[in-house]
Amino acid sequence: MAHQVQPLPFSKELDGISKKTVEIHHDKLYAGYVAKRNEVEESIKQADASKANQIYSAYRGLKEGETFAANGMILHQVHFANLGGDGKPQGTKVFDAINETWGSWEAFEEALYATGMAARGWAILAFDPSDTKLHLYAADSQNQGGVWGCTPLLCLDVYEHAYFIDTGSDRKTYIANFLKNVNWQDVDQRFTAVAM
């Protein structure tokens, strides 16, 4: 079955992230990744595999587009599911694990801001089964920076389309706004499903 667009998992207006931004981001950009993932998967079935070449080939273009579209779909689904909450992590297991990993909540936030300012695409809180620890990973595009086997728990989209309408070039204020709206119960469910 073809990949389906998941509906926006919250109906309330976010604090500091406008309805217009959310609509464009979800309905046009995220939905575009889902449509293109379906398209590229179909195209690969029809492609001339005998002409595959690492320097240039249509097959190479399809394979590169395949991971870009797939990760674009997956990371945006987690991103939207992470939103619509009250930004309060207290009482969750992931809150305790974050405090243990970074030493304090403030130290985690500092590291998240830094990762979000350093990345060109995504700052991702992930559970890494290779060392059974939490990590903050940076990705410059949909198909760069991912670590195999990890589960993304919190996906902070730092592409300009996520904030330029609302805060212009002020990415730091956007990250603060993102944190005000995080649904930590959703993050916690993702964490306990893989770490407990």
For Fe ion, the binding residues (CB under 5 A) are: 157, 159
Nearer to Fe ion, 25 or 98 (CB): 25
Nearer to Fe ion, 14 or 97 (CB): 14
Task: Report the alpha-carbon angle 146-106-118, nearest 5.
Answer: 35
Beta bridge partners of 182: 83
- Smallest CA-to-CA distance from 178 within 192, 166, 193, 191 is with 166
Q: Work out how close the CB of 157 gets to Fe ion at its nearest, in angstroms, rounded to a whole number.
A: 4
Q: Work out how close the CB of 55 gets to Fe ion at its nearest, in angstroms, rounded to a whole number.
A: 31
- Residue 19 neighbours by CB under 8 Å, 6+ apart: 13
Q: Work out how close the CB of 140 gets to Fe ion at its nearest, in angstroms, rounded to a whole number.
A: 13
Nearer to Fe ion, 75 or 98 (CB): 75
Nearer to Fe ion, 97 or 126 (CB): 126
Nearer to Fe ion, 21 or 92 (CB): 21
**How far apart are the C-alpha atoms of 128 and 148, rounded to whole Å?**
9
Q: Work out how close the CB of 76 gets to Fe ion at its nearest, in angstroms, rounded to a whole number.
A: 6
Q: Which residue is nearest to Fe ion (CB)?
A: 157
Q: Work out how close the CB of 26 gets to Fe ion at its nearest, in angstroms, rounded to a whole number.
A: 9
